[in-house]
Amino acid sequence: MQSFVIQGGRPLSGTIRASGNKNGALPILAATVLASEVVELSNVPRIRDVEVMVELLVDLGADAVWTGPNKVRVDSSGISKTDLDPDLCREIRASFLLAGPLLARFGRAAVPPPGGDVIGRRRLDTHIHAFTELGVTVEVNGAYDLRAERLVGKRIYLDEASVMGTENAVMAAVLAEGETIVGHAACEPHIQDLCRFLVGLGAQIEGIGSNILRIQGVERLGGGSYRIGPEHIEVASFAVLAAVTGGDLTIEDIEPDDLIAIVPAFRKLGVEFEVGTSTLRVRPDQRLTVIDDLGGQIPKIESGIWPAFPADLTSIAVVAATQAAGTVLVFEKMFESRLFFVDKLVSMGARIILCDPHRAVVTGPASLFGQRLESPDIRAGMAMVIAALCAEGESSIGNIRQIDRGYERIDERLRALGADIVRADQ
């Protein structure tokens, strides 16, 4: 086991490039199973979750190799297995994304229960509903045994705008007979990225970026090259980090449209971003102050389906709020365990009332002090890193494999910005 040892109180400044989107890379790698020719992907984040997906492809029989620091080449023509490795599946939730492509290509998929962050109940019902609508029979006996003689397009209305559920429905439908319409579809930037990738291989998808996707099935998909879009969650994480430490930071290779719900939310805390065509700058020494709602009412930052504020950033928003003068309610609507890490921030000196599993009231600014912490999941882990970097004294954060699952070489990249952070064996 490794930990991060962090000396806080230093402004982080400089220039950093956004990594490729983790939640875009994972479904796109899964979708290479559908390709009848070689696919070359670039800007792929070299993180544990992605490495596990590559290992899953290799286990199925694909020739999947890293050809550069952030490049992967996949030839899926050799795939013959349809049973996923249980040990690898336990490592990542995204293992279930292989169900749709395997069903579309082979008419069968045997998928063990997936792993991933423990942030509350994470339903698979939406996936199963979409598959059954397309003609799949499902047996659940410790694992999910999915079979279909043929997939036939249909009008599907998802019971929730599930990101992975939408992705699995789309990947299954691109090779199904006839037309599929997916209503109440999720439309996050990484889903748009997946759809654009599939269109580049020859899929016919209309409505990209909306909550209604119209898919006309085709007989085959070809190959090609594709560049994964930037990670907007990471962009926001670094921007907040600069703001709370008083740094001057420029983030390169961003997509402004992906920040449409993020910038206004953090402006409620007084964080100002200068967004250009491909860069974002946070100027130094910002005075973070909560902007009250009309009539002096306490404002609210609440997560929701895109284009609402992303649930993956609620942990970061809580930390930012501890450094802003005023009171704000952070409302995490999606996951009932996402906010359970706030007791760690309270131990550092934060003033937070956890109202219930979904809501926390934060009053700042609070002087934070170094503490021994443990990362429960990817996003809370990064929130703890941010808190430690703006705190006084030394902090240690354990279970950092969780952070490594979502942030590429985070300690190296932060040191380049002036952070005092080292990776130590526990």
Find the Cα–Cα–Cα–Cα dihedral 365, 369, 370, 376, rounded to 10°: -50
Of 166, 164, 165, 260, the closest CA to residue 212 belongs to 166
The Cα-based distances of 99 to 58, 134, 163, 229 in angstroms read 16, 13, 14, 23
Other beta carbons within 10 Å of 274: 10
Other beta carbons within 10 Å of 139: 10
Backbone angles phi, psi at 91, to 5 degrees: -80, -30
Per the annotation, the verdict on 125 as an active-site residue is no
Q: If you write DSSP's letter for every residue of 40-96 in order, what string do you get?
A: EEES---SHHHHHHHHHHHHHT-EEEEEETTEEEEEGGG----BPPHHHHTT-GGGG
Under a CB-based contact definition with an 8 Å cutoff, are residues 21 and 43 in contact?
no
Where on the phi/psi map is residue 402: left (φ > 0), alpha (ψ -120 to 50), or beta? alpha
The Cα-based distances of 252 to 90, 144, 230, 277, 283 in angstroms read 34, 42, 10, 10, 15
CB neighbour burial string for 347-363, b if at least 16 within 10 angstroms, e if fewer: ebbbebebeeebbbbbb
Distance (Å, whole) CA 133 – CA 281: 46
Instruction: State how beta strands 204-206 and 212-216 pair.
Output: antiparallel
Find the Cα–Cα–Cα–Cα dihedral 162, 165, 166, 171, rounded to 10°: 160
Instruction: State how beta strands 224-227 and 39-42 pair.
Output: parallel
> What single-letter DSSP state applies at residue 407?
S
From the list 49, 75, 117, 312, the catalytic residue is: 117
- Please give the positions annotated as active site: 117
